[in-house]
Structure formats: C-alpha cells, structure tokens
Structure 1
Amino acid sequence: MRSNFALYFVLLLLTGLAACVPPEKKVPANQLVNLDLADKDVQHLYNLRDQGRTDSLVSYLSHKAATMRYLAAMAFASVRDSNAIEPLVPLLKDTVEEVRIAAAFALGQIGSLRAEQPLLDAFRRDDSLSQHQRFNAIVLEAVGKCGSLERLKQIASVITYYPSDTLLLEGQCRAIYRFGLRKITDPSATARMVGYVFNEDIPASARLMAANYLARAPGVVPDSAQAVQLAAAFVRSGDPDIRMALARALGKSKTGPAFAILSKVIKTEQDWRVKCDLINALEGFEPDTVRALVSPFFQDVNPHVAHTAANFFVKNGRREDGDYYWRIARDNPELDWATKIALYRASYKWMSGRTEPEKKEYLNYRLRDFFVKSNNPYERAAVLSALTEFAWQFRWIYDKGMQDTSLVVKTAAAEALVQICTRDDFYYIFGEKGRSVRRELFVYLMEIVKSGDSGMIAATADGFCAPTLNYKSSVDTSDLNTLNRALQKLQIPRDYEAALALKKAIGCLSNDQQAAAPPKIPYNHPIDWKQVNKLNQTMRVEIQTPKGKISLQLYPVWAPGSVANFLNLAESGFYNGKRFHRVVPNFVVQGGCPRGDGYGALDYSIRTEIGLAWYDDEGYLGMASAGPDTEGTQFFITHSPTPHLDGRYTIFGKVTQGMDVVHKLQVGDKITKVVVQ
C-alpha cells in the first residue's frame, strides 16, 4: 500500500490513542476514538449509516464521546447528504484529530461548494512541528472534491513543501487529481504535476497521483516539452504503477517526443500491465509504425497483452489492413480463443463488404463456426459481439442467442442487438432496407422484454433509446403498456439494474423524464454483526481457483456490511463454481454473478460503504454495483492502482498473497470455492 493513511487509521481506531499519550497527560476515555465492533453503541452508529438516517446521525455529531462523533461524521462519507454540511463544519475544529479528519473527509465526499471555505479555514497553517499533516492532507483532497478553479490555482501554487512532507505532497497531488476528475484544470496545476513526476525526490505516493492526474484528467494534454520530462521520468522510474500512468499520459500527448519514447520502451518493458497501457497509448500515432510495434504482441506469452494488442486493432485498424488481422489468427492456431476472435473481428470490421464480399463472407463463416463448435459460453458470447461488425448478421445473432441454453450467451445477443441499433452509420449500412430493419429490431427488442429475463432486459433497454432509430416517433400506447407490464414484474432489489434500464427506455419512448427516475430500493439486509465479530486476526479467507489460491485480508472497520455479506455468501457455498465473468487487462477481474453475465443478483442489496481507504495499490477487493447502495454478490479485485474508483466503490479487503494468481485469471475462469476458517 503506497499511502500510509489506511493502515494508520485501521490500527489507530482498533487500539485507540492511549499508547501514544504520556502517562502525565492521560486522555479521558471518551476523547479516544476506539472502534470496538462488538460494542452495541458502535454497531448502532454503523446501523444508522447503513439505514441512511441523516437526522439521527446529525444528532451524534455533538455527542460527548469522540468515537460517536467520529462514526457520525464518517457516515456522511457514504450517505453524502448535503443537509449535513453545516452540522459537520464545527467538527473541523474538534479537539480530537481523528474526528476532524472524519469531518473533512465526509465534507469532501458530499462534494458541495458550500464546504470549500470551511475546509480552507480549517487547514492548520501553524503546523510547524508537522503534527497535523494527516489532517491537512485530508483537507486538501476534500477541497479537490468540492472546490472551485480559484482554489485549484491556489493549491497548485504551493511550493513550500519539502520532499520529506510525504502526506502534504500526497494531499496536494490528490487534490489536483480530484479537481481534474471533475474537469477543473489549469496549466499551473498540470505544470506542477509534471514537475513532481519528473522529480525523483518527491515521494512515490505523490508521484503516483501526479502521474494519474496527467493520465486521466479530461482535457489535460502534455505538450512537447512536458512530454520530454515525462519520457525521462518513465525511463528512470522503477515503479510499474507510475510507468503505466505515464504511458497513458504520453499517449494523450500525441507529440514527437511522446511517440519516440513509447516506440522505444514498448520493445523492452517487462511488466505486462505496463505493456497493455503502452499498446493503448499508441492510438492515433503513425499507422504503419504502430502496426509494426503492436503486431508482435498478438503472440505474447501473457494473454492479457495478446488480448490488448488484438483489440487495439478492432478499435484502431485500417481498411487496407483488413486482410491482415485474420491471417494472423489463421496461421497461429496456438492463440487463445479471445485473441483469435478479436483478430477476426478486426478484419471483419475493417474489410469492405462491397469490394471484398467473398473474404467478408469467409470471415462470417469462420466466426459462425467458432460459435457452433464452442462449448464455452464466454467464447460464444464474444463471437456474437464480433458479428455486430457486419450488422446484417442481426437475425443470426438473435436466433442463435435466444436458442442458446446459457444466460451468458442470451445476454450477449441482447447486447449485440443494441450495438447494431446504436450505430451512427445504421442507415448507410442497411440502405433502402433501413426502415424495415429498424422495425424488425424493434420487434426483437420487445420480444426480449416480454421474456421477462432481467439480464437480457437490462442489456436491451438502451436499444429503445438509440438516437439514429428514433423509436419514440413511432411507439404506440400498446408498446408502452407492454414495457410497463414487464417493469411491474421485475423484483426490486434483485432486478434493480433491469428496472433502471427499462425505466430509462420508457422515459425515452414516452418523452417523460419522471418515468425514467431510478427505482427506489427499500431498506433491506441489515449488517450481520454476529458474522462481523467472528472475524479475527487468525481467520483465513481464501479464494480458491484452478489457477491457484488468493488470500485476503478483510476490512470490517471500513465496510462491516460488505464483509459480513461476503463471509455469509462464502460460508453458504454461494461462490462455489461461479465464474470471473469480466476481466479488463490492467484494471480488474470481477466475479460472483449468479447468472455469469454481470447482471445477476440475489433478492437483497447492501449499501455502499466508504471509509478512509484508497485504491492506491494492486489487489484491492471492491464491491461491484449499478450505482450507490446497489451492491449484492459481485466483487472485483484490482490489477493495479485505480484511484478514479476512490470514494465511489466500497473497499472491503485486500489480497495478501496470490496476486500472481489474480494476474492469471481470464474471462470464464472458475471460483472453486471461498474458504473461511
């Protein structure tokens, strides 16, 4: 873990501050923050957060016990109710620093400009002994989540921090990064981040955030001179986490110096995650050279790299290379199915059906043959997605998808039809048949909705809103009635994602925004405190797969509801045999879906739980969701730092052993079981 924040707070809150206080200055017990999860009062505050009871939580902000004030303040990092801003502000001056930190963190999470000035006023400028750096760092990041452009300029202008001021530098960089994610940027901030990345005296945790700002902030494009500095930083850095972010930043630059370093280091980079980002960073550069650089990675020993290279040309191929990609797949039978299908898809997309109809038909035959012969539903699903590149295959996609016994394939067929519906060139492709195909696709979409299958409904609903097809101009009352009947049959919270998508479709077709409002989930599935308190330091939690074992440390202090839920599911055997249905190279592996397609859930939901933990390293265990407070059974593990997920997705644990196994996992790999003992 790069940041010391999370580890510090876990240890602090579990043990209290007594050990840090000299005997002659013993602090009263009610002024210590001590989170004993077996304590009924502590549980009560977590329960209030879980239930979203703002009024009750506000009343605890003035409690005489620091633990209660702390928990009430931290609750608003998850609840994010702007009505709590004014009651939280006095806690920025609390006598207990942990309470001040909780208040600042929560105000940042709420994200209102109203919190900007109180946060700035609370910053401890008199901290000559560096006793309040943790608090000041949290304040800086919080301002980045809620502040104005003027505050960004002010924070970026600070040059008084020494390299030894790790927390302050990290806080400054986090602040500028949070501004950037909110599309609030300034040349002075970009220059500061470039300077920090270039300066190896700056702590790695701060340089990581600076590099991620350059990689992810919309509208931030390093110029030629800055690209030279970033290139030097890339070459010098021994940290793959920083290199991967720098690769993305250089890819945004599109300058000569950027291409010079990318084209050089891609040949020698050893970390597979950095390779993936280097490949993607080459988008938009000179096509002939890029093809020569990326093509060798089709046969990389790491399948993540091979998949990334093949999919690069699905997105960035050229018409003149249409006959090239599929031949690589044909001539290299050892390639795995995902790489082969991506290469066929690239040719299928870029080869002209008008000038090379026979070759196009051959590719069509090959992809269909993959589908028919495959026993792997994820392979069949990938084929259906690939066939969308020749949109005339919509009938075959529908027929085969609906006939398939696998929910994974059925949902993939629905997604494929939506891909066709939403093509900007729809009428160019179908020509004079466009209007009849439009009607035919509408019938298919309606039939899927009538099926009542929640996963297919969730995948299909966006097709009704396809701008080019403008279905709302021709929909009638009976169609809307059919959609509403289907909506009424869905069960909340299990079918939340389908209901959300279907309400959006109804709102779009009826031109009624109120109809598109997200469905409300009644409170359900309270925290199982008996399960939480069974967890101890000697308990082993392990995900077992055919590729190896993954050992986990769980974080009940930050996410007791998520931890209890995971343990209950594990002990019941729910995860046994489930698949990792989603794998994004150098991002996440995701599993735990009861359907296997990413749209599944059980008949309950749990809430989003945000604590003082950050996605600043590989191996974090997070809860997947369809929006705030919609979590259930699905979880993910990160391949690398993903700070753009901070404050939005529950962190409830971390991999302690077995990251090599996580890095081996591919789509369709099985969870043998999750062991808790």
Structure 2
Amino acid sequence: MKIKGLRISILCALVFGLAMTATAQPLRKTFAAAISNSVLLKIIRYEDQRNWNDELKSLLSDKDAKVRKRAALAAGRIGDERAVPALADMLLTDRDTEVRQMAAFALGEIESPAGAYALTEVLKRRGNDSADGLVHARAVEALGKIVAAMVATAPNGGGSAKAPEDDRLDIMRAAIVDALRFEDSRRAQSDRLTILLGLTAVLRIKPDGAGPLAARFLDYSDPQIVAAALNTMARLRLKDGNERVRQLLGNGDAVVRANAARVIGAAEHKEAFDEVLSRALSDPDVRVRVSAIRALASLKDARAADPLIKRGNSLLDSERQNPAARNELLEIATTLGRLLANSLNADAIFFLRDMHARTKGEAVEVEVAFARIAPGIYLTNPGEDKVLVVGSSWRQISRRAQALAAFREVITGAAAGRAGDDVLKAAQKELASMLDRRTTPPLAVSDVLQAYNSYKTADANQYAKNFLQAKDVIVRGTAAEILGATSSEANTRALAEALPRALRDRDLNDAALAILDALGKQKNAAANDAIKTALNSEDHLIRRKAVALLKANGAGNFSNRIGLVKTRYRDADYRRGIARIGRKVTATVVTSKGAFTIELLPDEASLTVDNFIQLARKGFFNGQTIPRVVPNFVVQAGDPRGDQNGGPGYQIRCEINEVPYERAAVGMALSGKDTGGSQWFVTHSPQPHLDGGYTVFGRVIRGMDVVDKIARGDVIRRVIISEK
C-alpha cells in the first residue's frame, strides 16, 4: 500500500492522510468522453508523467466543469502537494457538485494534512443542501485517508506530552465520527454513500468507540450497509454487538452471513460455535462456508475437527464433479492445522495424506497443516524423497520449506524436550541442505531462505549475504529484507556493495527497492551515503524511495530529485487509449475451468486498459498458471513467474478512480503506488478497503460462476479482446 504526502501548509490548514476507502456505489456516468481529445491527451500525459505544472493547474479553473473535474482527478493521481491549495479552494467554492466531490476525492488521494481544513469545513455544512450529499461522502472518505496516512508516517516519539498533531488527529477523527452519527440520527433520510464511505473511514482511523459506532448500523435494512459495518468490525476485531452478529449468520444476504462469520472469528465469540459450524458445513454459498471455516480456526474449539474432516472427505469423493471444491478443501486443511496442532490425529493425517497426494505436495495449506498436526511424521514423510531429488518442482520445495518453518510454532511447550529438539534440528538441517544445493530452483529459494531465517540460527545472516549475489532479483530482495532486520557495520557494507548491481536490473526493481529499505533500517552515515546513489536512478520509484528514506533518517530533503516519470508512452499511445473512451471493450478470459468476460473501463482507466489489451494481444497471459486464489476475496492472475512476483518488465502508473470494489470488480495488483504491470485480480465479494488504493479497470459481466470455480494452479489458455 502506498504512503504519500510530504508536508506543506495551506491557509487555515489542519492535517493528515492515507489509505483506501469506500464501498459499493453505483458506477457514475463518465465525463471524459465530453472533453476534447487535445485537452484530454494533455491531462493524461501529465498524469502519466506525474507532472503537476501551471498548465494543469490552469485547467482547474476552466470554464467547462467537465474539464475542471478531470483535471482535479489528475491532480489527485499525481499526488503533488502543491495542488492542495487549488483543490481546497475548488472544494469550497466551485458551483458544480460533481467538480467539488472530485476535488474532495483528489485531496484524499494526495493524503496531505494541508487538505484537512477544507474537508472539515465541508462537513460542517451537512444538511444544508441535499445535492451536497455526494460531496460530504467524499469528504468523509478523504479525511479517512488523510488520518490513516498521518498515523502511518508519524514518528514513534517518546514522552507523555501530547503533540499538536495529536490534537489535529482527534479533530479529524471526531469529524468522521460525527458525520456517521449524524446520518444515523436521521435514518429515514440518511445518505447511503456517506454511511458506506464513513464505515470504511472508521476502519482506517480506528477511533475510540469504533465498536458501538459500527454496531449501530447492524440493524439497517440495507444489506450493503450491514455488510460494510460487519467488514469494519471484522478488520478491527471489534467485539461489540456479538449477539446481533450471531443472529446475522441467518441473514438472507450471503455477504452479510460471510461477514458475520468473520466478525465472530475475529472476536472469538465462542458462544456462536454451533451456528458457525452449521454454516461451515452446509451454507449454500461457498463464500459463507469458507468464512465460517476460517472462523472455526479462530474459535479454537477442537469439536469442529471431526465434522470438518468428514466434510473434507466428502468433498474429496466428489471433487471431479465439483471442481470448485478445491478451494474449500484447502480452507479445511488450514483450519485443521490450527485446531489439532501436535495432536497426531489419525483421521486428520489420513485426510491430509490424501490431499498431499492430490496436490502433489504443491499446496502450502496442506503441507503446513500436516506439519503442525504431526511434525515427526511429516519430517519423515515419504514425500520428502521427491523434494530432495533433482527435478522436483519449485513449488514442492517451497511448500516443504514453509512447512518445516511451521515446526517452530508447534514444537514449543507441549512438545518440548529432546524429541522436539531433534525434530527442530532436523528441520534446520534439511533447510540448510536446500540452500546449499545448486539444484534448488531459484523460484523456491526465497521461501527456503525465509524459512531458515525463522529459526534465527547463527549463520542465517551469512546465508542472506551469500544470496545477495544471486542472479534472481526476488532472491536478492529477500536476502536484503533479512539483513535489514539487523543493524550492523557488516550488514551495511554487504547491502551497499549489492546496491549498484540492483540499480542496473532492467526487468524488475524489487531487489533495488528491498536493498534501499534495508539500508534505511541501518541508521548510519554509510547506509545513507549508499542510499544517495539511488537518487541518480532512471527509475522514478527508486528515486522516490531514496528520497523518502533519506528524509525519514534525517539525512536531508532531496524531494527535488524525484523528478518526472520517464514514461514508456508516447502521444500515439495516449491517443489510442483515448479512442476507446465511450466504446464497448471486452476481454474474454479462457481458462482450464471455463471462460469469463470482462467489460474493460477505458473511461475510468484508459492507460491501464490499454496496457492490458496490448499484453493480451501479444499472448502474454497465454499458458500462465493462476498463482493466487483467496476464497471470498480474489482470484489473481497475470504473473509470468507464477510466484506472485513477476511482471512484464516495466511498471505503469496507478489510475485510481471512484469505481468501487464490488463483487466481480477487476483491479491491478500492486506492491506499492505505481507498481502495476501485468498482475490483475477479480473480487469474489465486495472489498471496500481496496477502494481508492488499487486501480479498477474492469468488471466481469459474464462467467462469475467460472471465476468462483477457479483454484490456484488453474491455467489461462488465452485472452480474447473485442472492441466495438
């Protein structure tokens, strides 16, 4: 997730900024198609370059409201604090409601404390004009982002004195809380969008009294509001309204039931065990079942084990007829591992052996569960032989390593003693042998390195230093992360020596960014000097990282070295993207489980859509394995490596917009702001915490039943683009 927003003041300014927000709002009519191509090209070019300038600023006062609105969005996407005064003035004085709401949205994207005054002023006007409901909603959303960013970037200072910024944070939190209370007080005339965005803002700001506040909305008749309140409660692990939440397990809306199960698990509401178990075993919606299965793990009641094993065996028997069963089976395996640690439960072991065989040792959930339930048996499991021979898949080795790391969690206390020590030593020895073998696939090395480091052995740092010289970028990045956890002269020297090579990497910048982060944690002059060399990088993300680290370490403000993005796009590319605005563009994704169709949204994210289309037409996605499926969350694809670390060899800028992450939304996967490339995802259910943080560039319009069946390891056959 990104954190942006250096500081700058504005007349009567307050504070704060970050996050992502919102929730289900209807898609609004596009405005881009009504703007002349020449003006729109100029805006998109500056946006892509992250170039805030006087020409773009002048468009904020254009006579055409549509131009002003689009320029405001560009200002938010660019994220330059110099735009805050103009946006704040626009928010307070522009006559067009659409323009004002976009100004509020843009201030939230910039995440600068300087935007807070105008946003709080807007909220003071609530109820004066019903047409301003949209503006109020976006102001609440923006304040949530600003407060969250303020907290995320605040120094952990000592002392008991309250800092001035703490007072500002209190004011901002109070404004958001008051806005929600106001809407609740006029329930019959309340503004739905303000409630939805406000509940997500509460999730971001974590105010005192968040539990009772969110619980107020559990009795609303609108299932989307109830689901949003439950989502906030689950993510904050709030324990208010337990009995009401328990009743909502029987609600007619599947998302409400699923979120109720999540809250019960997060709150560890053990009295709801029977109802949760019933949902886990027999709810008609798989999203509810997997949420309930996870909740059972949190409730820590071993009575759930036998029914889950029976359910698992039944699913195994019917898996060929029910291809969607694999995701549920993996959730059952994970929960059994949490419930039956060190139990040597024979039925569970039998079930997991069967799962191990069916997944060929490539499912981390199965391997870790087996290791937790029966560490000694897993250590000597016949499957180990396959992992040790040349030709084993990288996934088999990686999953084995992750399972061996799990021993540390369960062989403590209950399994202490010589036998437990022997198992731990054997696991360490096996992991070390994986690292020593030249035949270990590079794609597996990162997981093995992390697993070995989890044992905190004396030579873990030396292994990390050795792998700083690896060919694979991700391996070098992992090694840097390990070294960054310990500050020492030797680690600083090793990281500084590895940085020049990382700065020359062409396809992926992961190693360079990880090394810079690790150097930033060293907190010494030599490390800061090394970081300064990255200010000359051609990569905008690397320069931005270096500037942020140097500022955080008190080594100087080099913001003027960030500069513009050296974009790969030219005017012809911008024109191609603009030409799709207002047209129907679809992508049919053919997978090993069937096909689904995405309606792409060039009006909302023209360059992201263009990037996806260009990759699809080159056959980039053809034959790729789907590396990530999290039931009731997302299916993620587009990784040529298959380990969630791959990309096309370049990054594209985020095009954050107001389209919400409802079920079937298609978004760009990121590892930070402006780090998108080729990885994308489809949501199984509403995910309001992603709003305003990840670019939405499409929505599935046909075949969500296929998306629901997709499991990790399925394959994309091809992607067919249609433009009309």
Structure 1 residue 243, shift from structure 2 partner: 1.9
Which residue of 453, 469, 472 maps to 1:453?
A: 472
1:567-606 alpha-carbon deviations (Å, 9 max, x no partner): 1111122222222122222222222223222222334221
The secondary structure found in structure 1 opposite 2:629 is: strand
The secondary structure found in structure 2 opposite 1:47 is: helix
Which residue of 683, 686, 699 maps to 1:654?
A: 699
Counterpart of 1:523 in structure 2: which amino acid? K
Verify the 8 A CA contact 1:234 1:246 in the aligned structure 2. yes
Q: CA 1:350 to 1:385, structure 2 compared with 1: closer, same or farther past 3 Å?
A: same
Match of 1:27 in 2: none
Which range is displaced more, 105-114 or 343-352? 343-352
Task: Please give the residue correspondences for 1:288-303 in structure 2 after superposition, counting only pairs within 5 Å.
Answer: 288-299=302-313, 300=315, 301=319, 302-303=325-326
1:341-363 alpha-carbon deviations (Å, 9 max, x no partner): 6444323235455xxxxx35422
Counterpart of 1:414 in structure 2: which amino acid? S
Which residue of 353, 359, 383 maps to 2:400?
A: 383
Residue 569 (structure 1) aligned with residue 615 (structure 2): yes
Q: CA 1:419 to 1:471, structure 2 compared with 1: closer, same or farther past 3 Å?
A: farther
Structure 1 residue 422, shift from structure 2 partner: 3.1
Counterpart of 1:143 in structure 2: which amino acid? L
| Higher relative contact order (Cα pairs below 8 Å, separated by 6+ residues) | 2
Match of 1:464 in 2: 483
Verify the 8 A CA contact 1:605 1:629 in the aligned structure 2. yes
Match of 1:594 in 2: 640
The secondary structure found in structure 2 opposite 1:151 is: helix
Residue 185 (structure 1) aligned with residue 207 (structure 2): yes
Distance 2:390 2:429 in 1: 22
Q: CA 1:459 to 1:322, structure 2 compared with 1: closer, same or farther past 3 Å?
A: farther
Match of 1:199 in 2: 220
1:639-671 alpha-carbon deviations (Å, 9 max, x no partner): 222221111111111111111221222223221
Verify the 8 A CA contact 2:300 2:338 in the aligned structure 1. no
1:203-239 alpha-carbon deviations (Å, 9 max, x no partner): 233222212111113xx4214xx1101111221x222
Counterpart of 2:99 in structure 1: which amino acid? V
The secondary structure found in structure 2 opposite 1:207 is: helix
Distance 2:399 2:356 in 1: 18
Match of 1:556 in 2: 602
1:405-439 alpha-carbon deviations (Å, 9 max, x no partner): xxxx522222221122034xx3xxxxxxx43xx1x
Distance 1:586 1:369 in 2: 33
Structure 1 residue 88, shift from structure 2 partner: 0.7
Verify the 8 A CA contact 1:624 1:635 in the aligned structure 2. yes
Counterpart of 1:279 in structure 2: which amino acid? I
Verify the 8 A CA contact 2:363 2:399 in the aligned structure 1. no
Q: CA 1:660 to 1:132, structure 2 compared with 1: closer, same or farther past 3 Å?
A: same
Residue 222 (structure 1) aligned with residue 230 (structure 2): no
Distance 1:391 1:397 in 2: 10
Task: Please give the residue correspondences for 1:294-333 in structure 2 after superposition, counting only pairs within 5 Å.
Answer: 294-299=308-313, 300=315, 301=319, 302-315=325-338, 317-321=340-344, 325-330=348-353
Distance 2:589 2:180 in 1: 43
Residue 210 (structure 1) aligned with residue 229 (structure 2): yes
Instruction: Calculate the TM-score normalised by the size of structure 2.
Output: 0.77
Task: Please give the residue correspondences for 1:394-473 in structure 2 after superposition, counting only pairs within 5 Å.
Answer: 394-399=431-436, 402-403=438-439, 409-423=441-455, 426=456, 434-435=457-458, 438=459, 441-466=460-485, 470=486, 472=488
1:73-115 alpha-carbon deviations (Å, 9 max, x no partner): 1123322333322211121231111111110111222233443
Residue 254 (structure 1) aligned with residue 291 (structure 2): no
Structure 1 residue 457, shift from structure 2 partner: 1.9
Residue 487 (structure 1) aligned with residue 519 (structure 2): no
Task: Please give the residue correspondences for 1:362-377 in structure 2 after superposition, counting only pairs within 5 Å.
Answer: 362-363=380-381, 365-369=382-386, 372=389, 377=394
Task: Please give the residue correspondences for 1:124-273 in structure 2 after superposition, counting only pairs within 5 Å.
Answer: 125=125, 130-146=130-146, 148-159=172-183, 165=189, 168-182=191-205, 184-187=206-209, 189-200=210-221, 203-217=222-236, 220-223=237-240, 226-235=241-250, 237-273=251-287
Distance 1:256 1:605 in 2: 46
Q: CA 1:174 to 1:313, structure 2 compared with 1: closer, same or farther past 3 Å?
A: same
1:369-389 alpha-carbon deviations (Å, 9 max, x no partner): 367598765445433432434
1:609-666 alpha-carbon deviations (Å, 9 max, x no partner): 1111111x22211111221112111111222222211111111111111112212222
Distance 2:355 2:681 in 1: 32
Distance 2:703 2:717 in 1: 15
Distance 1:654 1:306 in 2: 28
Q: CA 1:101 to 1:525, structure 2 compared with 1: closer, same or farther past 3 Å?
A: same
Instruction: Calculate the TM-score normalised by the size of structure 1.
Output: 0.82
The secondary structure found in structure 2 opposite 1:579 is: coil
Verify the 8 A CA contact 1:254 1:284 in the aligned structure 2. yes
Which residue of 672, 684, 689 maps to 1:627?
A: 672
Verify the 8 A CA contact 1:371 1:383 in the aligned structure 2. no
Q: CA 1:315 to 1:505, structure 2 compared with 1: closer, same or farther past 3 Å?
A: farther
Match of 1:26 in 2: none
Distance 1:126 1:602 in 2: 47
Counterpart of 1:410 in structure 2: which amino acid? P
Match of 1:70 in 2: 69
Verify the 8 A CA contact 1:619 1:654 in the aligned structure 2. yes
Q: CA 1:475 to 1:109, structure 2 compared with 1: closer, same or farther past 3 Å?
A: closer
Q: CA 1:556 to 1:294, structure 2 compared with 1: closer, same or farther past 3 Å?
A: same
Distance 1:140 1:484 in 2: 42
Verify the 8 A CA contact 2:487 2:523 in the aligned structure 1. no
Match of 1:9 in 2: 29
Distance 1:350 1:160 in 2: 48
Distance 1:48 1:523 in 2: 11
Distance 1:55 1:336 in 2: 55
Distance 1:575 1:126 in 2: 48
The secondary structure found in structure 1 opposite 2:281 is: coil
Unmatched 5+ stretches in structure 1: 16-33, 354-358, 427-433
CA RMSD of aligned residues (A): 3.1
Task: Please give the residue correspondences for 1:345-364 in structure 2 after superposition, counting only pairs within 5 Å.
Answer: 345-351=368-374, 353=376, 359-363=377-381
The secondary structure found in structure 2 opposite 1:629 is: coil
Distance 1:601 1:331 in 2: 34
Q: Across the two proteins, how many residue pairs are aligned to each other? A: 613
Q: CA 1:35 to 1:614, structure 2 compared with 1: closer, same or farther past 3 Å?
A: farther
Distance 2:699 2:349 in 1: 40
Verify the 8 A CA contact 1:541 1:551 in the aligned structure 2. yes
Match of 1:50 in 2: 48
Q: CA 1:332 to 1:380, structure 2 compared with 1: closer, same or farther past 3 Å?
A: closer
Which residue of 508, 512, 516 maps to 1:503?
A: 516
Counterpart of 1:139 in structure 2: which amino acid? A
Q: CA 1:639 to 1:339, structure 2 compared with 1: closer, same or farther past 3 Å?
A: farther
Counterpart of 1:306 in structure 2: which amino acid? L
